Amino acid sequence: MEIQGKIKLIDETKTFGNNGFRKRELVITTEEQYPQHIMIEFVQDKCDLLNNYTVGQDVKISINLRGREWTNPQGEVKYFNSIQGWRIEAIQEDNTTGQMPPVPPMEAFAPADDINEEEHDDLPF
């Protein structure tokens, strides 16, 4: 899955436990009618992917949805979801999308007064 938006926050890398588990969180704001602030976590070696990005940048992030079950000390079963990022790329905003450039208004063109109707070109059609 992929999600696109503007980076709102990039947190520092945090290390947990004796095994050195690393996690870094990023928040993006989607650009739709009702923008959403989505927190995406990057874990272990994927934390370093965020080093080259800054707040305000438009990005596309490849994500996986993760879910887990946990039983609390009282015996109640709880479920948790997370969104994990595994790839991130900047979205370039350029005008190379194949669109024609805008046409200047008619007033920008001078009238052609020097047309000679009797001159013919030598094209065969």
Here the CATH number for the domain that contains residue 78 is: 2.40.50.140
Tell me which residue range forms the domain holding 6.
2-90
Q: Is the pLDDT of residue 100 over 90?
A: no
Q: Indicate the average pLDDT of the chain.
A: 87
Gap between the Cα atoms of 104 and 26, Å rounded: 44
- The count of structural domains within the chain is 1
More reliable by pLDDT, 24 or 119: 24
Is residue 107 included in any domain, yes or no? no
> What is the DSSP-derived secondary structure letter of residue 99?
P
Is residue 122 included in any domain, yes or no? no
Mean pLDDT confidence for 88-93: 88
Q: Are strands 77-90 and 58-71 parallel, antiparallel or unpaired?
A: antiparallel
Q: Can you give the pLDDT at residue 31?
A: 93
**Banded pLDDT at 92 (limits 50, 70, 90):** confident
pTM value is 0.68
- Count how many Cα atoms sit within 13 Å of the Cα of residue 92 in the half-sphere of its side chain: 4
Q: Can you give the pLDDT at residue 93?
A: 66
Is residue 73 included in any domain, yes or no? yes
Is residue 67 included in any domain, yes or no? yes
Q: Is the pLDDT of residue 2 over 80?
A: yes
Is residue 117 included in any domain, yes or no? no
Rg of the Cα trace of the chain? 28
Q: How far is CA 82 from the centre of its chain?
A: 19
| Minimum mean pLDDT range among 1-10, 18-27, 75-84, 90-99 | 90-99
Is residue 119 included in any domain, yes or no? no
Is residue 76 included in any domain, yes or no? yes
